[in-house]
Structure 1
């Protein structure tokens, strides 16, 4: 039954493996994410390359500045990947019921898992974006400083000063961005099937690393302009329109931010920070998939579920 698929040990193993893999990988490449976020949000910053911006941050804000906001990001990432991997694998098991998966089914399941993930975890990502940028030295004078003492205090202050709805800032672009992990998983699972060519075998570490990197590179490049808008909205420094319709307001805000950015910096401005994002996200995703596969296959082997880990995938 569907309920037994949703509450299965297999889904739990995938979820824990995905969460552990992503947390480890993000910790290793965290400074690259700091550089990417600063490039997206701080329009007036002159440094264009990742090494230059990291050198600037360390010089102005100290050696540990590239790791500012690490704890809330790791908490958010752990919850987010747990929810995503759990939903993806339980929905997949429930839908396929022993059939082979296809790129189309992987994409649809990925989108469904992404929607659940966005609605559940957006407040955590809003808080972690604020904490990650708090205390930064911005070139843009219009950015207001914040004073949060931690995750809980950030929640309290945002609800008190901006209302509960502010915790879901950037939800609409985030819902559009469920295409990112959906495309990523579709390409990843598809490449995995190609490499196996019908033989249920464990892929080598290098194979997993490469297909994880390729899948993430494609997904990130396709959806990057929306990711920039998402970061700006989560930061909460943009004055949104006051239309009665939330959906119309969100669409108008996204269009306005995209058009303004294109006018100010040209079409390439929509991809500002892409180099830092690609470097960080591709390496992180590749390492995350590698760790995820190793942790999952090791756990399944211990549990005696080795064959079911590979069939239908």
Structure 2
């Protein structure tokens, strides 16, 4: 098994665990990002009303979702999200390691020619992460459009309304992934009717720009990891020992820097991927990336680009740190097993 395949599978495993643990925060954050409010009434509103928004912090929003929709509301779209996570992390880490190996080989080659120190620099790290991220976005964007719509939606069925109307003490907990396959199919059909096949790539432009997020994250991560292991000796397995806690910390720092730098683009992407309220206030309807940016500035101000940022920092930093910590441990185990197998084969 190639090193790229090992990293791809390990990334999928780490991403799966991280997603399961932080998914409720992701759902709340998506709702915060896609809630819309104008600073002033819009003359283009069909009914003369002004778009409204619930303003609440993370804890209050979690409580509201549970109170109105049950625990299942926090896990809306979990099934396609897990599918998307496995697909995204597999694709991303496979190509990242493939490009990383090529960059490292090139750096060693340059060192033999008297250029550089044989290690991958910041610019090359950014390029590697950007290339892997772009391929990931183009291949998996349709899954995330469906996930965003499911997370942003609220239950409307009469059965759920009757469940919501019960007093909290008598309300039964809803299943973790409350959406039926029929609901997921309906979302896909609505999306297709709304925009055709191209609709599954809604928000792809800001998402492609958003590859700068993992690019920045891994530039910081790889730089800190190189500094951390610079003076450490290589162990018998051909690796430099790094503890899970150290991976967790430097992974957190990398994701924190990337999230702060790119959060406004994430809000724009979520707005574009969420279902558009056709026939209602024009200030909350977007025809494309630039239209969304200009309308958000005009009707919501710059603060509109930072809605739910505190929730996202907690969710994304925790998820990224957990993912990297689990992934690196899985890679270590896989490499040890492969090395042991190679030694057995060589001894025969």
- Aligned residue for 1:290? 325
Do 2:145 and 2:273's aligned partners in 1 also have CA atoms closer than 8 Å?
A: yes
Do 1:134 and 1:147's aligned partners in 2 also have CA atoms closer than 8 Å?
A: no
- Aligned residue for 1:142? none
Counterparts in 2 of 1:305 and 1:189: CA distance versus 1, 3 Å: farther
Secondary structure of 1:149's aligned partner = helix
Matched, 1:75 2:75: no
Matched, 1:120 2:139: yes
Match of 1:165 among 198, 204, 213: 198
| 1:128-277 map, 5 Å | 128-136=147-155, 149=182, 151=184, 154-199=187-232, 200=234, 201-237=240-276, 253-277=288-312
- Aligned residue for 2:96? 88
Deviates more, 1:151-160 or 1:59-68: 151-160
Cα distance between partner residues in 2 of 1:63 and 1:179? 34
- TM-score, length-normalised on structure 2? 0.75
Cα distance between partner residues in 2 of 1:157 and 1:272? 27
Cα distance between partner residues in 1 of 2:137 and 2:301? 30
Do 2:267 and 2:305's aligned partners in 1 also have CA atoms closer than 8 Å?
A: yes
1:216-246 C-alpha deviation (Å, 9 max, x unpaired): 011011111110010011114177xxxxxxx
- Mark the runs of 5 or more structure 1 residues left unpaired by the alignment: 1-7, 138-145, 240-249, 307-313
Matched, 1:35 2:35: no
- Aligned residue for 2:115? none
Deviates more, 1:187-196 or 1:154-163: 154-163
Secondary structure of 1:215's aligned partner = helix
Matched, 1:25 2:18: yes
Cα distance between partner residues in 2 of 1:157 and 1:53? 27
- Aligned residue for 2:43? none
Cα distance between partner residues in 1 of 2:138 and 2:270? 16
The CA RMSD measured in Å over matched residues stands at 2.4
Do 2:203 and 2:289's aligned partners in 1 also have CA atoms closer than 8 Å?
A: no
| Aligned residue pair count | 280
- TM-score, length-normalised on structure 1? 0.83
Do 1:118 and 1:175's aligned partners in 2 also have CA atoms closer than 8 Å?
A: yes
1:50-83 C-alpha deviation (Å, 9 max, x unpaired): 1011111111111221111111111111101110
Q: If you compute each CA radius of gyration, which structure gives the higher value, 1 or 2?
A: 2
Do 1:216 and 1:282's aligned partners in 2 also have CA atoms closer than 8 Å?
A: yes
- Mark the runs of 5 or more structure 2 residues left unpaired by the alignment: 37-51, 109-118, 157-178, 235-239, 279-285, 342-348
Do 1:232 and 1:238's aligned partners in 2 also have CA atoms closer than 8 Å?
A: no
Counterparts in 2 of 1:49 and 1:128: CA distance versus 1, 3 Å: same
